[in-house]
Amino acid sequence: MIPAINIQQLHKHFGDLHALKGVDLSIEQGEFFALLGPNGAGKSTLINLLAGLLRPSSGSLQVMGHDVHAAYAAARLALGVVPQELVFDPFFNVREMLRFQAGYFGRGRENDAWVDEIIESLGLADKAHTNMRRLSGGMKRRALIAQALAHKPPVIVLDEPTAGVDVELRQTMWEFIRRLNREGHTIILTTHYLEEAEALCSRIAMMKHGEIVALDSTRNLLNRLPGKRLKLSLSAPLPEGLRALVRSEQGRDYILAIADTTQLELILSELRVAGVSIEDMQLIEADLEDVFVELLS
C-alpha cells in the first residue's frame, strides 16, 4: 500500500538556521501518529513543508503518493491541516467559512451534509452563524479543526490541536478524531501533552534540533524503560551502593529505576544499614515523559 506520508532526506534552511537536517519519515495509511519534541524542534516546519506552505531546501515529500511540489493539487486534496496559530477570517461566520473551505477543494453543495456533521461533532452547532471574530479562543480552535476537515481529506495533520482547549472539548474532539481514524483516515498530531500521545497514538517520532531522534511504536518506546520508578525523599544522601540505579536526582529527592519489586527489599535494607531514613516514597510506572526526558537530555 502507498504510504500516507513519505518524506526523504528533507532539509530546510531559514537563512543560517538549519531547521530540518535530513528527515526521513514514512507513515502508513490508517496510522495514528504523534510527532513530539521540544519548542523549536522543527515539528511545525515539517508540517508546513508537507502542506506546501514552505518549500524544502532539498529532499522530497509525498502525500498519498503525490509529490507535494510536482503533483501539488492531488497532494493538497489528500491533506487537511490544522495550523498551530489561531488564524481566522474576520469577514465570515463559521458555516460560511466551512463552505468556502470545501469549495476551495472543489467540493460543492453535495458536501454540505458533511459540513453540518463536522459542525455538530465539534460542538459548533450553536455557533454556526457566529462571526469568526466573535468566537472564544477554544471555539476558534474548533473552527480551525473543522476547516481542516471540510473536504474530508484522507490524511489529517493537527499541529497542537489541544493548546488552549478545555477538558470537555479535548474529550469530544479526540472521540471524533478517533472515529475518523477508525473509518480509515490517517491522523498525525503534535502535542505537548505527552499523556495524549501515549493514549492515542500507535507510533511516535521524537524530534530534536531538526532531526528525528527516535521513531518507534509507543509500546516499544515505553519498553525502553522497563520496570518501575521509585521516587524517594531521604534524610541523608543516597548510599554509594545504590547510585547505579539513579535516573535523576534533586537534592535528597531521587528517582531510581528498578527492574522488579524484589529489588525493593534490597534497596530498603541498604538504606537501613546506612542509617538513612525515608521521608517519602512512591512507586510509579515509567511513562512517555520519562522516555522523552531520557531521549532528549
Ligand X SMILES: Nc1ncnc2c1ncn2[C@@H]1O[C@H](COP(=O)(O)OP(=O)(O)OP(=O)(O)O)[C@@H](O)[C@H]1O
Residues that bind ligand X (CB under 6 A): 14, 17, 19, 37, 39-45, 84
Least gap, CB of 257 to ligand X (angstroms): 28
Across 102-141, b (16+ Cβ under 10 Å) vs e yields: beeeebeeebeebbeebbebbbbeebbeebbeebeebbbb
Of the listed pieces 49-57, 84-92, 117-125, 249-257, which binds Mg ion according to CB under 5 A? 84-92
Beta sheet of 186-190, edge-to-edge order: 79-82, 155-159, 186-190, 32-36, 203-208, 211-217
Of the listed pieces 21-29, 84-92, 170-178, 202-210, which binds other proteins according to CB under 8 A? 84-92
Least gap, CB of 79 to other proteins (angstroms): 8
Least gap, CB of 159 to ligand X (angstroms): 7
- Residue 121, interface with Mg ion (CB under 5 A)? no
- Residue 268, interface with other proteins (CB under 8 A)? no
CA torsion through residues 108, 109, 111, 116, sign: positive
- Residue 208, interface with Mg ion (CB under 5 A)? no
Residue 40's binding partner among ligand X, other proteins, Mg ion, none (Cβ under 5 to 8 angstroms by kind) is ligand X
CA torsion through residues 198, 199, 200, 201, sign: positive
Of the listed pieces 21-29, 52-60, 265-273, 284-292, which binds other proteins according to CB under 8 A? 52-60
Cell (9 digits) for 177? 478524531
Cell (9 digits) for 231? 521516587
Q: Indicate which single residue of 36, 51, 143, 177 sits in contact with other proteins (rule: CB under 8 A).
A: 51
Rounded Cα–Cα distance for residues 201 and 219 (Å): 10
Residue 52's binding partner among ligand X, other proteins, Mg ion, none (Cβ under 5 to 8 angstroms by kind) is other proteins
What is the contact surface with other proteins in residues (CB under 8 A)?
14, 51-55, 72-74, 76-77, 79, 81, 83, 85, 87-92, 100-101, 103-108, 147
